[in-house]
C-alpha cells in the first residue's frame, strides 16, 4: 500500500514545484529563528510560511483524495478478515447479547444442527458494571463443527438472528446491532495480534497499530529512496 500511494503521489504532483516550496519553507523557518528578537518582522515571515505551506498542502491534496477511497475499502477488508482470530471447530466460544436498559427476564438461544450449547439455552439478563454505568447482558457458551450457521435469539416474542462462522481461516461479522430489546449480539472472537506474544513495554499491538507503524516506516523510506518531496 505504501508503494502504491508513494507512486501515485509522485505521478500526480509537480515534484519540481514541491522541491522549491520545501526549500522555501526551510529558508523561511530559518529566518524566523533569526528574527525572534524582532516580533513584527517575524510575523511577516510567519505569514509567508503559512502561505507557502498552504501551496504545498494544495499540491498534495489531489493524490491524497484519490488514494483515500481505496484505502478505506482495503481497511474494511482488513477489519472483516484480519482484525480477529477465527472461531475454531470443536472449541468452546461465547456469544453475548447486549440488552436495552429496561430489559428484564430471560432470553432464549436456539442453535441449528452442528452447534452444541454448552450452557443453558435460557439465560437470565443481568447487570454488569461498565465505564458508562451498568449494562445488561446475557451470555452463552457454545461449540460446533466447521461451517456457517444462523443463531436465533428470542426476547419478548421478538427473534433476532446472528450469523456465526466456525472455520480455521475466516470468521463472520463479530458484532451486529439491532433496533429492539436486543441492542447487539457479539461473538467471542479474540482480537488478532500479528506478533502473537511479542509486546512493547507490555503493549501487544493489533493489526491497525502494526499497519500504522509499518506504513510510516515504508513511506518515509520510499520517499527518501525515490527523492520525493
Residue where the block lists cell 527518501 = 224
Predicted confidence at residue 38, as pLDDT, reads 86
Nine cell digits for residue 3: 508503494
Q: What order do you get walking across the sheet with 122-124 strand by strand?
A: 122-124, 106-110, 147-155, 158-166
Predicted confidence at residue 101, as pLDDT, reads 87
Predicted confidence at residue 51, as pLDDT, reads 92
Which pLDDT tens digit goes with each residue over 142-165?
Answer: 999 999 999 999 999 999 999 999
Residue 75, pLDDT above cutoff 90? no
Q: What angle do CA 161, 192, 100 make, to 5 degrees?
A: 35
Residue 78, pLDDT above cutoff 90? no
Predicted confidence at residue 134, as pLDDT, reads 78
Domains and CATH numbers, the chain: 2-83+203-226 (no CATH), 93-187 (2.60.40)
CA distances from 132 to 129, 151, 170, 177 (A): 8, 29, 33, 19
Q: Which of 214, 229, 168 is nearest to 20 (CA)?
A: 229
Residue 82, pLDDT above cutoff 90? no
Terminal CA-CA length for the chain: 19
Residue 34, pLDDT above cutoff 90? no
Amino acid at each position: 500500500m505504501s508503494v502504491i500511494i508513494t507512486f501515485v503521489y509522485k505521478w500526480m504532483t509537480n515534484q519540481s514545484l514541491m522541491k522549491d516550496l520545501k526549500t522555501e519553507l526551510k529558508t523561511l523557518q530559518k529566518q524566523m529563528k533569526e528574527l525572534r528578537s524582532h516580533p513584527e518582522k517575524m510575523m511577516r515571515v510567519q505569514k509567508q510560511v503559512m502561505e507557502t505551506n498552504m501551496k504545498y498542502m494544495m499540491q498534495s491534496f489531489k493524490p491524497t483524495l484519490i488514494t483515500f477511497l481505496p484505502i478505506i475499502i482495503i481497511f474494511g477488508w482488513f477489519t472483516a478478515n484480519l482484525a480477529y482470530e477465527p472461531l475454531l471447530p470443536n472449541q468452546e466460544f461465547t456469544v453475548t447479547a447486549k440488552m436495552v436498559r429496561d430489559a428484564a427476564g430471560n432470553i432464549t438461544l436456539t442453535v441449528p444442527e452442528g452447534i452444541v450449547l454448552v450452557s443453558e439455552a435460557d439465560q437470565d439478563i443481568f447487570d454488569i458494571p461498565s465505564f458508562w454505568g451498568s449494562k445488561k447482558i446475557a451470555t452463552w457458551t457454545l461449540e460446533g463443527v466447521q461451517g456457517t450457521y444462523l443463531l436465533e435469539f428470542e426476547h419478548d416474542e421478538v427473534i433476532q438472528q446472528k450469523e456465526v462462522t466456525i472455520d480455521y481461516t475466516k470468521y463472520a461479522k463479530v458484532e451486529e446491532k439491532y433496533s429492539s430489546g436486543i441492542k447487539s449480539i457479539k461473538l467471542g472472537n479474540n482480537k488478532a495480534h500479528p506478533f502473537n506474544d511479542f509486546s512493547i513495554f507490555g503493549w501487544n499491538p493489533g493489526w491497525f497499530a502494526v499497519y500504522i507503524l509499518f506504513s510510516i516506516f515504508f513511506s518515509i523510506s520510499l520517499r527518501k529512496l525515490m527523492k520525493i518531496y
